[in-house]
Amino acid sequence: MSLGPGVPLGPYLIVERIGRGGMATVYKAYHSALDRYVAIKVLPEFFAEEEEYRERFQQEALSVARLRHPNILTVYDFGQERGIAYLALELISGGTLADRLGTRIEIHETVALLKPIADALDYAHTNGVLHRDIKPSNILLHREGTPVLADFGLAKLAASVRRLTASGIVMGTPEYMSPEQAAGDPIGPPSDIYSFAIVAYEMLTGRVPFEAETPAAVLLSHLNNSMPAMHELRGELSRHVEDALRRALAKSPSERFETASEFVAALTPAAWPTAGQIEQAMAPVGSPRPPSGPTRKVPSVLVVDDGVANRELIEACLAGIECEVRLAEDGPSALAAIETRAPDLVLLDVQMPGMNGHEVCRRIKADPNGRLIPVVMITALNSVTDRVTALDSGADDFMSKPVERVELVARVKSSLRLKAVYDKLDNTEQVIFALAAAVEAKEAHTSRHVRRVADAARHIGSRLGMNEEELDQLYRGALLHDVGKIGIQDSILAKPGPLDAQELMKVREHPQIGVDIVRPLRSTVDIVPTIRHHHEWFDGRGYPAGLSGQEIPMHARIVAVCDAYDSMVSDRPYRAGRSVEDTVRILQAGAGKQWDADLVGLFLAELAKIAGVTAA
């Protein structure tokens, strides 16, 4: 049946033909009852005429129509009428990614386009749906640039059709087919990830990696040839891009990334540095950035990793922080650098030849001069066992590769701020802060809790216009607000169920215990009120003194809100962490009762920024 302008097809009226391919013809059509324009994809006639293909079409169309994702082309409807099998799809009018190719797309824009498509692909795989024909022409673009993945399942339908395969039409697009697909072997999600990586390669270089005069020769290249070098990319950071693509384009499916999002995450660090930052990253090792003032000490960060690209990427990422970045390629050189001049922070890889990161960390912490240097482990190992091993070796924090730039910057800033506080303390107060860290070690579920509370409290204080001295007092008080828990039995702190009356009374002693611990120190006089009163309620029903309203010190009121939020969203022995939405509702309900209403309002208004500051 011929379709042209004005011809009805089910509830749709054909407007015009807008595309044609080897498998289908696409029309613009109008649904008058819904007042909606759609794209009608018409498949070959035998999909409607032959029973075997009618059933197969209906099954595949139904599975694709069930996918609901903002970056997957919506299937509104499907049907078979007068010998025509068709799909009614969302109409996208911004063209396709193929229209933009032929020249390179910069890494920042490439990653921005790939991220939502990767998320869509992983969503489809989770729901048991493979794409089988990922290529630029199947990535549609809205006018504002949002990408949408189209044509799920059509390649599967085509592959099942003897009539097409017998005619010599290749099912799929050779330039984007995985080795297993080219060989006719069974395929799974890794096949889609391979094709997705081909698209990424083409975006970054302006060409596909495997080209030949015939489709068969292209397929043989996928089976036998290594990924060509990417000469279009320049600079030391290009090797990181190539490493990520080589893994995604591995001949064996088991050697590729497990998800499309993991692949894009591996590419993402290469999109961090601006041109200026890259220039800084290529500066001679050990060259400090100029200090901002004649008397101000510039903190130093020691990056320890046996991978050159990893060291350079982290250094480039830290270009926006006022610090001196020093580099070490292995454990012994790191320890020698620390002995020569102690850094303010160590970013330490775990898997290194010879002396691994755990041993390096143990040696740093065993030295009295190094025990208060923050050490952040950065590794591809991210199981619970790996984290416990890192913490047991003395690490202060743990991050998984590939690291997110925003998170890395937040962790480094937080660690340097903590180190600056350590540097101001007398030896006795350093012991007290070590006790505060020990409290967190006792309560495994509160990992980094006091750090997050302190960072959030400092942010709120800055929004209230506090000066640096006040902010420092607030930060230190927040860090030590729960130090009194060192005097509470582990069995109570880690109890998986509700506390009885006696246990509850014991827990309520921790503010006074904390005060007793820090009171002998002259340098902690200004933070005693925060430690003592952070559990007072605004309506006077709190403890230990039953203060109300403005009687409660401002710093204690700020810490109370920050502490409550972080405690509620975090896992506890007796419950899982609450959602952000539920926690916000609880804070709003308690405003003016348990917490200062003005501070609750400010905290919630700043929540997005606080989440960035306290990235964990």
Identify which has the larger pLDDT, 347 or 131: 347
Kindly state the tokens that stand for 244. 């990520």
For residues 250-274, average pLDDT:
83
Cα 595 from Cα 556, distance rounded (Å): 10
**What pLDDT, in 10s, does the model give residues 196-227?**
999 999 999 999 999 988 888 999 999 999 99
The structure's pTM equals 0.52
Residues 393-426, buried b or exposed e (16+ Cβ, 10 A)? Answer: bbbbbbbbbbbbbeebbbbbbbbbbbbebeeebe
Roughly how many angstroms between the first and final C-alpha of the chain, as a whole number?
60
Q: Of the given ranges (185-199, 423-437, 593-607), which has the lowest mean pLDDT?
A: 423-437
| Token output for 136 | 């630029």
DSSP-derived letter for residue 391 is H
Residue 287 confidence (pLDDT):
38
Looking at this protein, which amino acid is placed at residue 480? Answer: L
pLDDT at 3: 83
Strands across the sheet containing 324-328: 324-328, 300-304, 345-349, 375-379, 397-400
- Residues 51, 54, 57, 58, CA torsion sign: negative
Residue corresponding to tokens 């230990």: 544
**pLDDT of the residue at 147:** 94
pLDDT at 235: 53
Work out the pLDDT band at 292, boundaries 50, 70, 90.
Answer: very low
Least confident of 167-171, 182-186, 367-371, 480-484: 167-171
pLDDT for position 555: 96
For 366, residues 6+ apart whose C-beta sits below 8 A from its C-beta are none
In angstroms, rounded to a whole number, what is the distance separating the alpha carbons of residues 440 and 578?
20
Would you say 476 and 451 are in contact if contact means Cβ atoms under 8 Å apart? no
> With 60 as the cut, is the pLDDT of residue 594 above it?
yes
pLDDT at 434: 67
Q: Is 286 left (phi over 0), alpha (psi -120 to 50) or beta?
A: left
Res 560 pLDDT > 90: yes
Give the model's confidence band at 507: pLDDT under 50 very low, under 70 low, under 90 confident, else very high: confident
Higher pLDDT, 27 or 316: 27
**What domains are there in the chain, each with its CATH number?**
8-90 (3.30.200.20), 97-271 (1.10.510.10), 272-414 (3.40.50.2300), 425-616 (1.10.3210.10)
Residues with Cβ within 8 Å of 222's Cβ and at least 6 positions away in sequence, in order, are 174, 177, 178, 179, 182, 210
pLDDT (average), residues 388-394: 84
pLDDT for the residue numbered 285:
37
The answer, yes or no, to whether residue 412 has pLDDT greater than 60, is yes
What is the bridge-based pairing of β-strands 147-149 and 139-141? antiparallel
- Tell whether the model's pLDDT for residue 177 goes beyond 60: yes
Whether residue 44 has a cis bond before it, omega within 30° of 0: no
Round the average pLDDT of the chain to a whole number and report it: 83
Tell me the average pLDDT across 466-495. Answer: 86
Confidence of residue 46 (pLDDT cuts 50, 70, 90): low
Top-ranked range on mean pLDDT: pick from 364-373, 404-413, 585-594: 585-594
Is the confidence at residue 520, as pLDDT, over 70?
A: yes
